[in-house]
Amino acid sequence: MFRRILIANRGEIAQRIIRACRELGVETVAVYSEADADALYLRQADETICIGKAASAESYLDIPSIISAAEIADVDAIHPGYGFLAENAHFAEVCKSCQIGFIGPDPEVIASVGDKSRAREIAMAAKVPVVPGSPGAVKDDVEAARLAQEIGYPIMIKAASGGGGKGMRVASNEPSLKNQMRAAQNEAKAAFGDDTVYLEKFVERPRHVEVQILADNEGNVIHLGERDCSVQRRHQKLIEESPSAALTPKLRDKLGATAVRMAKAANYVNAGTVEFLLDKDNNFYFIEVNARIQVEHTVTEMVTGVDLIQEQIRIASGQPLRFKQKDIQLRGHAIECRINAEDPARNFQPSPGTLTAFVPPGGPGVRVDSHCYSGYRIPPNYDSMIGKLLVHRNTRDEAIRTMLRALDEFVIEGVASTIPLQREILKHADFKSGGHDTGFIERWFSSHGRENG
Ligand code: MV4
């Protein structure tokens, strides 16, 4: 096991990783920017190092600063958390060349699954179902038009380096395809410095279902069930749950086995997520691999009882998986609300500032992962997550009721939060029935004329 690790992140995930380390008996080194000098996670770490200015590019994204901190603190490994450098293959490569462990997959694997067109090719070669589309990247609009004719409209154009919905466009006919392809390429070039695009048939009203996997260095790969993340707005997840209300036990096994096949085909090691779209006829299609721990890993922890951060650290230190597939039992139902300092009544405008009061809920079946406290000032420089509120109950209906109770208990004063919206969603008939899809929030907002506040 590692003796000491550095956490190249901030906020709730830095705290989450420190908690896992303390239970494992691993020492922690936390880094922070000038904007985070009063953060709670710094009091929980064994050592802290300031790595630069408030701007992420000059601190949490600054590879030389982080590597210097790791060298000075003499750590065995770095945990990147999520966001920032978590899926940066170059960073993983620099760690390797400095003989610092990287708690995540190998740089080559991060690079290959990070190219979504290449990930699609790996999936196809492994007979993992993909959305009908181009065999690989498309070079120009002549080739795109020819392929689109075969695939059939509507067509979705996607950036190979894409993420968060950037560089993604829908086209319903050939003239539109040519325009949208140029728009997608320009957006991708500006956002990722790479204008490679590929095509997929547009799936109407999909659900977003993702499978958590764990893979060790000896070729053992298991899955830990799925998370349904269909409650999103503009690619920001608002509510996640496990299991998905859309799956039968038989379909769950098939989806899990498919995710394991994909992870093996990609030579994936450590914790990862295999994302699928589920259509209205319950056909599933691979779309992406996320080569990191995700924000919503916690819902899987609740239903499996597995501490995913501890497992990530064990795997990266060279230990084999401690579980076989048959050891993983899904128990009950977990729901997570991501509580953001954003005002849903004002088009989700970020609402940083001081938390004049912060009293998290508790009681049976409730977990709160938050780095906040009364008097804490949420800096405007980073994402606006206040914390994650989770519930774990025997059934989905009970979990919804517990979540409503916990949301009512939660006291957050001084900043606006997403709590009022999450309460409304949990009471909405489409969510309660479990029949919702990824268009749920946007359709609901447009029917209320609220999309522009
Ligand atoms: C799609 C799709 C429909 N058809 N691909 C959005 C982000 C990226 N992860 C994939 N996304 C989508 N890909 C095809 N072929 C619809 C979406 C999509 C979506 C997916 C998951 C969760 C929310 C979404 C919201 C809008 C669109």
Tell me which of 16, 227, 292, 338 is the catalytic residue: 292
292 is catalytic: yes
165 alpha carbon – ligand 1 mean position (Å): 7
Per-residue model confidence as pLDDT tens digits over 67-113: 999 999 999 999 999 999 999 999 999 999 999 999 999 999 999 99
Are both 427 and 352 inside the same structural domain? yes
* 1: its two tokens: 């096991």
Of 252, 259, 261, residue with least CA distance to 303:
252
CB of 286 sitting under 6 A from ligand 1 = no
Are both 290 and 353 inside the same structural domain? yes
CB of 156 sitting under 6 A from ligand 1 = yes
Q: Is the C-alpha dihedral spanning 88, 299, 21, 262 positive or negative?
A: negative
Answer whether residue 439 shows pLDDT above 70. Answer: yes
433 alpha carbon – ligand 1 mean position (Å): 22
Q: How many domains does the chain have?
A: 3
User: pLDDT above 70 covers what percent of the chain?
Assistant: 99
Q: In sequence order, what E strands does 65-195 have?
A: 77-79, 101-102, 155-163, 166-171
Per-residue model confidence as pLDDT tens digits over 405-428: 999 999 999 999 999 999 999 999
Residue nearest to atom 22 of ligand 1 (CA): 208
* Direct distance between the N- and C-terminal alpha carbons of the chain, in angstroms, rounded to an integer: 51
Residue 6, classed as helix, strand or coil, is strand
Are both 419 and 335 inside the same structural domain? yes
CB of 438 sitting under 6 A from ligand 1 = yes
Are both 275 and 227 inside the same structural domain? yes
Are both 325 and 239 inside the same structural domain? yes
Cβ 70 vs Cβ 46: under 8 Å = no
Output the pTM of the full model. Answer: 0.97
Q: What is the predicted pLDDT for the residue at 441?
A: 92
Residue nearest to atom 19 of ligand 1 (CA): 438
**Distance (Å, whole) CA 35 – CA 103:** 26
Mean pLDDT of all residues in 264-290: 98
Q: In sequence order, what E strands does 2-62 have?
A: 4-7, 27-33, 47-52
pLDDT band of 452, cuts 50, 70, 90: very low
Residue type, 367: R
Residue nearest to atom 15 of ligand 1 (CA): 202
Cβ 238 vs Cβ 425: under 8 Å = yes
Q: Which of 134, 147, 203 to mutate to test the pocket of ligand 1 (most atoms within 8 A of CB)?
A: 203
Cβ 315 vs Cβ 215: under 8 Å = yes
Judge whether 453 lies within some domain: no
Give the domain CATH number at 56: 3.40.50.20
Cβ 11 vs Cβ 21: under 8 Å = no
Are both 288 and 428 inside the same structural domain? yes
Answer whether residue 434 shows pLDDT above 50. Answer: yes
Beta-bridged to residue 207, according to DSSP, are 278
Beta-bridged to residue 5, according to DSSP, are 28, 77
Of 263, 288, 393, residue with least CA distance to 334:
393
DSSP state of 138: B
Give the domain CATH number at 383: 3.30.470.20
Are both 260 and 374 inside the same structural domain? yes
Are both 165 and 216 inside the same structural domain? no
Last residue of a domain, one of 201, 224, 250: 201
| Burial class (CB within 10 angstroms; exposed 0-12, middle 13-18, buried 19+) of 335 | buried
Q: State the average pLDDT for the chain.
A: 96
Residue nearest to atom 20 of ligand 1 (CA): 208
Q: What is the predicted pLDDT for the residue at 163?
A: 78
CB of 131 sitting under 6 A from ligand 1 = yes
Q: Report the phi/psi class of residue 412: left, alpha or beta, with left for phi > 0 and alpha for psi in -120 to 50.
A: beta
Range of the domain at 170: 132-201
Q: What is the predicted pLDDT for the residue at 453?
A: 32
Cβ 121 vs Cβ 139: under 8 Å = no
Per-residue model confidence as pLDDT tens digits over 165-192: 888 999 999 999 999 999 999 999 999 9
280 alpha carbon – ligand 1 mean position (Å): 14
Answer whether residue 433 shows pLDDT above 50. Answer: yes
If you count them, how many residues does the chain have? 453
Of 15, 37, 1, 4, residue with least CA distance to 81:
15
Cβ 266 vs Cβ 122: under 8 Å = yes
Pairing of strands 207-215, 221-233: antiparallel
DSSP state of 274: E
271 alpha carbon – ligand 1 mean position (Å): 22
Are both 419 and 294 inside the same structural domain? yes
Q: How far is CA 174 from the centre of its chain?
A: 34
Q: What is the predicted pLDDT for the residue at 450?
A: 46
Residue type, 420: P
Are both 313 and 423 inside the same structural domain? yes
Residue nearest to atom 25 of ligand 1 (CA): 438
User: pLDDT above 90 covers what percent of the chain?
Assistant: 96
Residue type, 121: E
247 alpha carbon – ligand 1 mean position (Å): 19
Give the CA dihedral 70, 76, 82, 88, nearest 10 degrees: 70
Are both 211 and 197 inside the same structural domain? no
Residue type, 93: E
Give the domain CATH number at 189: 3.30.1490.20
Residues 6+ apart with CB under 8 A from 294: 82, 210, 273
Q: What is the predicted pLDDT for the residue at 449?
A: 53
Residue 29, classed as helix, strand or coil, is strand
Per-residue model confidence as pLDDT tens digits over 339-395: 999 999 999 999 999 999 999 999 999 999 999 999 999 999 999 999 999 999 999
Answer whether residue 224 shows pLDDT above 50. Answer: yes
